Structure 1
Amino acid sequence: MKIGIDAKWYFEGPASGKMVIRNLVNEICKANSKLNFYIILDKKCENLQLDSENTKVKKVYVWNGNNLLSNVFFVPFVAKKYDLDIVLYQTSVSLFGKHKKIAYIHDLIYISHPQYYTFLERIYLKPLKFLTKFSDFVITVSNSEKNRFQNLAFTNKDIKVLHHGYDSLFKVIDGRDDEDNSEIKSRLQLNEKYILYVGRINTRKNIPNLLKAFQSLEDKQIKLILVGKREWKTDDLNSLLDDPSISDRVILTGSVSNEELSIIYSNAYIFCFPSFEEAFGLPPLEAMASGIPVVVSNSSSLPEVCGDAAIYVNASEPNEIAEAITRLLSDTDLYNKYKQLSVERAKAFSWTNTTQNLIDILEKRYVK
């Protein structure tokens, strides 16, 4: 059985898509399976090596000037050329070709909450529902997102759930004074305690309410570090960031490498993620794996991911966010309790398990 894995985002692509496919492919290269995997990569990356090479896993290449066009029109030629039985597509599948098609769709937030997307993004995603009709089944990333599929009557196809894992870089680090750590702390002007947010800087992630909560904290020494790229609809942040009471204590780092991020996580005191809507919510999982108490929204997929290891808040209430942070700042026993709960909860997720679950689904469905 020959399985093609759409991995065009392995080297370059949207941050979440790249993270998913890179980890899946790396684990597939280590796994024992009856299946023969073909990793479909971007043609312009032919001279680059996978993190984990395996002679049993073949690499093939395709044009990827546009992911939608590549999936619909070019990947079927690859499937035919290598006689692939199945292709696991990232997002949109093709309506062409005799091979079985699996749609790996991260979320449908663009339908349920269109206000968080630009007009062009919504136009780009518009064909997704039609194209999904040509899939054999669908994979998404949480039971919460599966419910969204069903509530929107998006597809009548079977929907499987594969939770994300987290990169092994994100772990509890006891020694915090090594050279790399010190350099990053110095460059970002980090003090001993800071609250951390990681993710895109946009309306859906609810940064204004996080800043309002931060303004109201009694602790006027602690800093707030925002790690991520500033995106569409963030103009309302400027007035909040210019507030003299917090302007010198809020640091926007922009995008950072995973190596830098692991150090930023490990030095954080509290992680706060008051997002309005998530399909999975990887940053809270990375924070928990790093041994940080987390404060997250009580909506969408976040309770599914964080379990009993988080303090939950109403994302629309800055005072509630501030109160949760204050509880952790003022109560050492509570802080240590959630620190330990974070570490234990993170153990429930791994890319090794995710990949094995994918292989089990494929073997059960297709290997006779």
Structure 2
Amino acid sequence: MRGRGFPPGRRGARPRSRSPLHVGARRVRVRRRLSKRCGFRVRVGLDATWAAAEGTGTASYTRGLIRALAGHANHEFVLYFRPGDEERNPLFQLDRANVTKRCVGGWGQIGRTWLSLSRETRRDRLDIFHSPSYFLPVCKAPRVATFHDVNMFLQWNKWWRPGMRAGWASLAIQTVAASRLANRIVADSHHAATQIRRVLHLRDSEVDVVYPGVNDLYFEESRDATAVDRYALHEYFLSVGVLSPQKNLEGLVRAFAALDRPKTHLVIVGRRDGPYFDQTVGPLIDELHVTSRVRVLGVVPDLILRRLYRSALALVFPSFAEGFGLPPLEAMACGTPVVAACAGSLPEVVADAGLLIDPNDIRDLAEAMSAVADDKSLAGTLSERGRMRARLFRWSTSARRMFDVYESFA
């Protein structure tokens, strides 16, 4: 790629030249002033297919970011969908004068991205193409890719399992390819940015940090029916996220089983990630004799999820690794106390607004859950801190920061 060399650290590799697209901080400030006077306008292509992946953080990210970006009427957006997204992708209903929609098919993820999408983006004469999740086409326009983490490399043993290996290989290959195609990588957190630079051998200037936001729905004060009314739950801990090994569901179930709270339930919300949950977590629930107190709800609509957050004793999020972690912020926006792992980006996101625990220490996790459930003063303090913390993460801010990234080289 023009302006790029080989990753540092390879014997005999030529040094990377300074990209002609790079601009210094002073020049960015000058261009911001000019854009306000002259009307900076950019035509951005975005791969909106990720918004259809119901029950994933990637879908929440794609929906929140594109809706916030499209609210800036002085810019144009071309959204690329798959055939069939008319029914299953909520972004297809985005009706704005500055938004154009394209349906692009293709054989498999790689075939669609590198062949069909590459051809379509060249025809649309974009100023920038932005992928909200790793995969980048080959196009003439400057390219931006959001990398949520590099756990496919750092946590490879949790991906290398029956039913997931082909997906892991595709993601790993396209992540490396996108890191070389992109003019800029966007990370969700400073922790994720550090790992991305180290694993993929990128320079500091090649990775920017733009925090995701929280859906405004979770801040709204409304008279929701409680989870008690809908699911006949009286008191419960809540777990939200894809049901995958890195979420540490086994540790959560063991900690829950260790509690002396026979009337308390554990509610698990999220989509299954291959056969892992049914083959590993389900049998563990039976083995620990807590089957009658564990409710697995699968994917639920946002309005119902808000009800579940607001009625819970706490959101428990003991992941081994996270590039960001939206559920803790959603829970905090609802005023729900959070118990989260002191791992990955979670300390950066949660800060002092939640209880941070060692995800490998079952006793530590169980004690934190008990403390939040039994100490009303502590729960109240965490609720108030959580609301204040969540207000710092809004999609409107994320969109403005993303435009700064675009403007720095568009």
Q: TM-score, normalised by structure 1?
A: 0.90
Return the match for 1:141 from 188, 191, 205. 188
Query: Is it true that 1:227 corresponds to 2:269 in the alignment?
Result: yes
Aligned partners of 1:286 and 1:72: how far apart in 2? 35
Distance 1:100 1:29, change over 3 A: same
Q: Which residue number in structure 1 is paired with residue 217 of structure 2?
A: 169
1:119 lines up with 2:165 in the alignment: yes
Summarize deviations over 1:112-162 as a string: whole Å, max 9, x none.
110111322221123221342121111121111111112214434600112
Distance in 1 of aligned mates of 2:302 and 2:209: 26
Question: Helix, strand or coil: the match of 2:291?
Answer: coil
**Distance change (3 Å), C-alpha of 1:352 and 1:359:** same
Instruction: For residue 288 of structure 1, give the secondary structure of its aligned residue in structure 2.
Output: helix
Q: Is 1:188 the counterpart of 2:231 in the alignment?
A: yes
Equivalent positions of 1:204-243 (< 5 A) are: 204-231=246-273, 232-234=275-277, 235-243=279-287
Alignment-mate amino acid for residue 273 of structure 1: F
- Alpha carbons of 1:268 and 1:171: their partners in 2 closer, same or farther (altered >3 Å)? farther
Determine if the alignment matches structure 1 residue 340 to structure 2 residue 384.
yes
**Paired letter, 2:398:** T
Identity across the alignment (%) = 24
Q: CA RMSD in A?
A: 2.2
Secondary structure of 1:130 counterpart: helix
C-alpha distance in structure 1 between counterparts of 2:55 and 2:280, whole Å: 25
Q: Per-residue displacement from partner, 1:183-229 (whole Å, max 9, x unpaired)?
A: x54452211x2111111222211111111111121222111111112
Equivalent residue letter for 2:60: M
Secondary structure class of the residue paired with 1:343: helix
Contact 1:172/1:291 (CA < 8 Å) preserved in 2?
A: no
Structure 2 unpaired stretches of 5+: 1-41
What does 1:339-358 align with in structure 2 at a 5 Å threshold?
A: 339-358=383-402
- 8 A Cα contact 1:274 1:295, kept in partner: yes
Instruction: Give the Cα separation in 1 of the matches to 2:86 and 2:290.
Output: 47
Q: For residue 18 of structure 2, what is the aligned residue in structure 1?
A: none
Which residue of structure 1 aligns with residue 199 of structure 2?
152
Q: Any unmatched runs of 5+ in structure 1?
A: none
Match of 2:338 in 1: 294
> Deviations 1:242-275 (Å, cap 9, x if unpaired)?
1465221111111111121111111111111111
1:345 & 1:251 partners in 2: Cα distance? 29
Partner of 2:77: 37
Contact map agreement 2:328 2:350 (CA 8 A) in 1: yes
Flag the 1:51–1:249 CA change in 2: closer, same or farther, 3 A.
same
| Structure 1 Cα separation of the partners of residues 397 and 192 of structure 2 | 19
Cα 1:98/1:171, change in 2 over 3 Å:
closer
User: Residue 12 of structure 1: CA displacement?
Assistant: 5.1
Deviations 1:88-130 (A, max 9, x none): 1231223x33221112222210011101113222211232213
Out of 228-237 and 96-105, give the one that drifted further: 228-237
Q: Select between 6-15 and 301-310 the one with higher mean Cα deviation.
A: 6-15
Give the residue type in structure 1 aligned to 2:310: S
Residues 259 and 315 of structure 1: CA distance in aligned 2, closer, same or farther (over 3 Å):
same
Instruction: Name the TM-score, length of structure 2 as normaliser.
Output: 0.81
Query: Which sits farther off after the overlay, 231-240 or 140-149?
Result: 231-240
**How far apart are the structure 1 equivalents of 2:378 and 2:242?**
29
Letter in 1 for 2:134: T
C-alpha distance in 1, partners of 2:93/2:150?
30
Match of 1:75 among 117, 124, 134: 117
- Distance in 2 (alpha carbons) for counterparts of 1:247 and 1:148: 38
Query: Structure 1's 130 and 50: CA in aligned 2 closer, same or farther, altered over 3 A?
Result: closer
Look up the SS of the partner of 1:312 in the other structure: strand
Determine if contact 2:86/2:92 at 8 Å carries over to the other structure: no
Matches for 1:275-286 after TM superposition, within 5 Å: 275-286=319-330
Evaluate the alpha carbon distance shift between residue 70 and residue 213 of structure 1 in structure 2; reply closer, same or farther with a 3 A threshold. same
How many Å apart are 1:51 and its aligned residue?
4.6
Q: Does 1:324 align with 2:378?
A: no
Structure 2 residue aligned with 1:269 = 313
Is this contact kept in 2: 1:133–1:155, CA < 8 A? no
Point out 4+ residue stretches in structure 1 off by more than 6 angstroms. none
Read off the aligned partner of 2:140 and give its amino acid letter: K
Taking the aligned partners of 2:96 and 2:236, their CA distance within structure 1 comes to 42
Residue 98 of structure 2: SS of its match in structure 1?
A: coil
Which region of structure 1 is more displaced relative to structure 2, 236-245 or 349-358?
A: 236-245
Deviation at 1:230, TM superposition (A): 3.1
Query: Relative to 1, partners in 2 of residues 1:121 and 1:155: Cα closer, same or farther, differing over 3 Å?
Result: farther
C-alpha contact 2:309 2:331 (8 A) present in aligned 1: yes
Match of 1:132 in 2: 179
* C-alpha displacement of 1:19: 1.7
Structure (1 or 2) with the greater helix fraction: 2
